[in-house]
């Protein structure tokens, strides 16, 4: 699924601009679902139509690139400016050799992240 999500990042950046953060996080131990966090400076400055277009693009790309099971594993999509606290905390985490950050049972901004991968930071 990581390779597929990286393709979605490429589409977003080509169409809208550079992202500061793209992460998938499991923050609920009861519901085994991912939350997708997308952040960029330009998101907080965007008009509602542009934010809606971004949301639609991400949603459409997920439907296009991910299979049915992968799509069903995603429950939330959050679009944030870089000033958001959780974005700032996630960006503090150190990138691995593969350019990603893997998170396991770690508190981030007071929230427990049971599993996560930061694909862009």
Domain extents for the chain? 2-120
The predicted pLDDT at position 89 comes to 93
The predicted pLDDT at position 97 comes to 83
Q: What is the 3-state secondary structure (H, E, C) of the chain?
A: CHHHHHHHHHHHHHHCCCCCEEEEEECCCCCCCEEEEEECHHHHHCCHHHHHHHHHHHHHHHHHHCCHHHHHCEEEEEEECCCCHHHHHHHCCCCCCCCCEEEEEEEECCEEEEEEEEEEC
pTM of the model: 0.90
Class of the domain covering 2-120: alpha beta
Top-ranked range on mean pLDDT: pick from 17-21, 30-34, 93-97, 111-115: 17-21
Q: What is the mean pLDDT of the chain?
A: 91
């Amino acid at each position: 699924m990581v390779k597929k999500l990286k393709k979605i990042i490429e589409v977003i950046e080509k169409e809208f601009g550079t992202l500061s953060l793209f992460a998938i996080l499991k923050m609920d131990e009861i519901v085994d679902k991912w939350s997708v966090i997308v952040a960029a400076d330009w998101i907080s400055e965007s008009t509602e139509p542009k934010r809606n277009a971004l949301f639609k693009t991400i949603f459409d790309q997920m439907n296009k690139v991910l299979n049915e099971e992968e799509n069903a594993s995603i429950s939330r999509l959050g679009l944030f400016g870089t000033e958001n606290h959780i974005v700032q905390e996630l960006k503090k985490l150190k990138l691995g050799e593969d350019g990603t950050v893997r998170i396991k049972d770690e508190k981030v901004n007071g929230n427990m992240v049971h599993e996560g991968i930061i694909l862009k930071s």
